[in-house]
Amino acid sequence: MHFRERYYVAYRTLISVLMSCLLMVSPLGATTILGMNIDEVAQGAEIIFEGKVVEHNVRENDMGMIVTYVTFRIEELIKGEYDEQLLELKFTGGRLDEQIMEVSGLRIPSPNEEGIYFVESVNRNLVNPLLGWSQGHYLIYEQNGERRVSTVNNRPVTNVLSTQSVPVALRRPVSVIDGDTDPATGVVAPSQILDSDQALTTESFKAKVRALFDN
């Protein structure tokens, strides 16, 4: 093996080890990210769509890291331009054979999951392509024949308010949040137990989101 080849292999191994140490943190910990309001999430997303997860494809990338390619079937494009019915997005982490790699706080959309997704970029190489992580990831569930919306940790979403309409005293200051639980500021999802049928219907949620970037 030539010196340059040995150097490349050693460098690649070192990077893989370092990335594993950085990203494979204890599941008891939490990744914190910058909090955003729903106006920023809606306006900053390249595309927003309602869709369903139809496929997971887990691979190892050139750096030796495990990544999961999630394929969505787009049911409705809410914002942006995308001509295909299927969209593949790459998330860092996943399970490949007996290897598991987790990014604490990163929630990969589950197989057969239905939701509304705020995508930061369809092309850039991101750890999580959903803008604001949990702040751009909402689930759809059915209750008594109605399709309704919840946060990723199953808190019913009861309203979506532009932060311009939220009283100053109630606005969340710029802070860090848990990347896999907290919705964007302005998404009302009470932590106390509510009847699931109090959540916004999917159509109402989408209409409120459209109003954030149509104005």
Listed by start position, the domains of the chain span 3-214
- The predicted-structure confidence for 85-96, as pLDDT tens digits, reads as follows 999 999 999 999
Q: Within 13 Å, how many C-alpha atoms sit on residue 125's CB side?
A: 3
Neighbours of 4 (CB within 10 A): 8
- The predicted-structure confidence for 38-55, as pLDDT tens digits, reads as follows 999 999 999 999 999 999
The neighbouring-strand residues paired with 190 are none
Neighbours of 183 (CB within 10 A): 25
Helices (H), the chain: 3-23, 38-44, 202-214
> And the tokens for 206?
């989408």
Instruction: Tell me the whole-structure pTM to 2 decimals.
Output: 0.82
